[in-house]
Amino acid sequence: MSTNCIFMLIVVLVSLLSVNGEQNKTKDEDMCGVITNILCVKDLLADIAKAAKDIRKTANEIEQKVFKKDLNKLHLITTIIGKRSALHSSFPTSKHHMHSLTMSNIDKDDFIRLIKEQHYAIGYLYNSIESLHYIQSTSGKKFDNLFNKTQKNLKKNILCNYIDILRVYSENWFTIDQINGIQITETREHELSLSEYNSYSIIIAELITKWMRCIENVINNLKYKLI
């Protein structure tokens, strides 16, 4: 390949990355408002950790509340086990988090990978709640107000803060519409039973609890290992 061809290829790649970055910015500004490039990452991480702790408490409350209200608890537990097994392969992974626990230091590249992993997981949780909300709005099932509170908190205090951080360190990340949450569907032939709806609620609450604890651990770890 000639030098001119290589140069043109580099120009095209840079242009594509720039366009992708601007598309990310536009989509995220629609969700989070205008994103500033001037920020203190340390302060944002502290805000995220605080929000994660509050959200974890709310998720525990949701789980206990849903389980307590379901009268057929044995059937609910069986349904949860079946649904969780079927959905498990779609759950976001925490491999970078687990790897960071064994590292003595975390450099910039490791940090970006951690933030991207957590940002993706929060997007997954946000869209899972949105899917649950959609089923509620079309079927008349009761949508717990605590989920509304959790979703707003996830967006404002975690997701949008992660987007701010990614704007500083990285030009490429998944926008909210590129992330799938738990897909909850019902048809005329199969309307979700109360136990099925409750099982999805508990599984989502469990995932929220897991990831909030993960976020708290990672941010605490970064205090000592980030270089």
- Secondary structure (DSSP) of 64-90: HHHHHH-S-HHHHHHHHHHHHHHHGGG
3-state secondary structure of 200: helix
Q: Which amino acid is at 98?
A: M
CB count, 10 Å around CB of 84?
16
Q: What angle do CA 172, 174, 178 make, to 5 degrees?
A: 145
| Total domains, the chain | 1
Opening angle at CA 184, ends 32 and 216, nearest 5:
50
Handedness of CA 82, 83, 84, 87 (dihedral sign): positive
Beta pairing partners, 226: 106
Specify if 155 maps to a domain.
yes
* Residue numbers of the domain that contains 113: 35-225
> In what helix (H) or strand (E) does residue 142 lie, and over which residues does it extend?
none
The tokens 């989509």 sit on which residue?
Answer: 27
Q: Which two tokens stand for residue 118?
A: 């957590």
Instruction: At 42, list the tokens.
Output: 């340390």
Domain assignment of residue 44, yes or no: yes
Please report whether residue 27 resides in a domain: no
Q: Does 149 map to a domain? A: yes
Residue 51 token pair = 């929000």
Asked if the structure places residue 172 within a domain, the reply is: yes
26 lies in some domain: no
pLDDT at 4 over 60: no
| CATH number of the domain within which 154 lies | 1.20.1250
| Per-residue DSSP letter, 180 | -
- Domain membership of residue 85 (yes or no) is yes
Confidence of residue 3 (pLDDT cuts 50, 70, 90): very low
1 located within any domain? no
Q: What is the pLDDT of residues 28-70, one digit of tens each?
A: 667 887 666 556 888 999 999 999 999 999 999 999 999 998 9
Of the listed ranges 8-12, 24-28, 74-78, the one predicted with least confidence: 8-12
For residue range 125-162, list pLDDT tens digits in order: 999 999 998 887 655 556 678 999 999 999 999 999 99
* Residue labelled with tokens 């290829």: 9
Query: What is the reported pLDDT for 18?
Result: 44
> pLDDT at residue 190 above 90?
no
pLDDT at 82: 96
